[in-house]
Amino acid sequence: MISNKTILIAGASSGIGRQVALLLSQHNNRLIISARRQPELETLAREIQANGSQALAIPCDALSQQQAQDCIKQSIAELKTIDIALLNIGDGPAFNMSKASVDEINHNTQLNYGTQVNFLVPLIAQMKQQGFGLIAHTNSLAGFLGLPMQGPYSAAKAAGRILMDSCRIELEPFGLKFVSIYPGFVATERVQGDGIPSPFEISEMDAAKHVIRALEKEKADYLFPFMTASLIRLARVLPKSLTNKLLAKSVPADY
Ligand SMILES: NC(=O)c1ccc[n+]([C@@H]2O[C@H](COP(=O)([O-])OP(=O)(O)OC[C@H]3O[C@@H](n4cnc5c(N)ncnc54)[C@H](OP(=O)(O)O)[C@@H]3O)[C@@H](O)[C@H]2O)c1
């Protein structure tokens, strides 16, 4: 059980990040919660405090390098160290590659990969100085394959996966740990009605429990749920022509 830790959650105002914050707040932690929507953060901070944990809400647009850096600075000024950081910001709307604009694709890359980098760099500096710390990233099973309707998102999450792999090798000797978390489909408000088929979808609460288990286990890669993770593992070893034929069946005829 994770208790008495200082934990930053970037992307805490809704969905999986919010639920993770609430579960962790039941075990006497100090939670730094960040996202753009201040009212949602303030409501969450009150719920965290009601559960007996400390809450520090820091509104921030993580597309801005400066704001992400300032978020870490303010966290350290108020709480001295960060034990665990969960980089949870991301969005994977349906993309049709014959209709998507370059700007839309670049924005999605920035949101899923750029925000990770904007937090990762100051966090590494801080944790290297501390001599300890765990950085986790909410990636996606979509980050293992180029999925149809998910191209830019798959690509950005794949970049995030590779970056974490490099960090792990370079920085573990300095006491830092890196955990990549790969959810399948999770029924959060954001994905309702996005038009993407979602087999084996799990609840927000189940996803949050998996995320916390991943933080506790400190395994490099944590994939869930079992069925979707198994299909992705299988798809990666099948011949690409066969995988592509199977994946093509998930695209609606009128897409
Ligand atoms: N739901 C799924 O099926 C699923 C599956 C696999 C992976 N994931 C991953 O899980 C993570 C959470 O997804 P979710 O479904 O829980 O979605 P969500 O509810 O939309 O959570 C995303 C969080 O990121 C924050 N955020 C977005 N843009 C931001 C920005 N520019 N600066 C700072 N914060 C920003 C949002 O808050 P504000 O809007 O207040 O900024 C929100 O707190 C994402 O990385 C997603 O890719 C989700």
Q: How many folded domains does the chain comprise? A: 1
Q: Is residue 12 part of a domain?
A: yes
Among protein residues, the one whose CA lies closest to atom 19 of ligand 1: 15
Please tell me the predicted confidence (pLDDT) of residue 198.
Answer: 87
- On whether residue 255 sits in a domain, the answer given is no
Q: Does 189 fall in a domain?
A: yes
Please tell me the predicted confidence (pLDDT) of residue 109.
98
pLDDT, tens only, 133-180: 999 999 999 999 999 999 999 999 999 999 999 999 999 999 999 999
Is residue 4 exposed (0-12), middle (13-18) or buried (19+ Cβ within 10 Å)?
Answer: exposed
Instruction: Report the CATH number that the domain containing residue 154 is assigned in CATH.
Output: 3.40.50.720
Residue 113 domain-assigned? Answer: yes
**Cα–ligand 1 centroid distance for 91 (angstroms):** 6
- Cα dihedral 133, 109, 43, 74 sign: positive
pTM score: 0.97
Task: Assign 3-class secondary structure to the chain.
Answer: CCCCCEEEEECCCCHHHHHHHHHHHHHCCEEEEEECCHHHHHHHHHHHHHCCCEEEEEECCCCCHHHHHHHHHHHHHHHCCCCEEEECCCCCCCCCCCCCCHHHHHHHHHHHHHHHHHHHHHHHHHHHHHCCEEEEEECCHHHHCCCCCCHHHHHHHHHHHHHHHHHHHHHHHHCEEEEEEEECCECCHHHCCCCCCCCCCECHHHHHHHHHHHHHHCCCEEEECHHHHHHHHHHHHCCHHHHHHHHHCCCCCCC
In short, whether 122's Cβ falls inside 6 Å of ligand 1 is: no
| Chain centre distance of CA 18 | 12
User: Within a domain: residue 182?
Assistant: yes
Å from CA of 242 to ligand 1 middle: 32
Taking CA 150 as the corner, what is the angle to CA 145 and CA 156, rounded to the nearest 5 degrees? 70
* Domain ranges, residue 47: 6-248
* 145 Cβ below 6 A of ligand 1: no
**Residue 254 within a domain:** no
Inside any domain, residue 253: no
pLDDT > 90: percent of the chain: 93
pLDDT at residue 255 greater than cutoff 90? no
Pocket test for ligand 1, best of 41, 88, 112, 147 (most atoms within 8 A of CB): 88
> What digits encode the pLDDT tens for the residues 96-137?
999 999 999 999 999 999 999 999 999 999 999 999 999 999
In tens, the pLDDT along 69-83 reads: 999 999 999 999 999
- In-domain check, residue 1: no
CA–CA gap between residue 198 and residue 231 (Å, rounded): 13
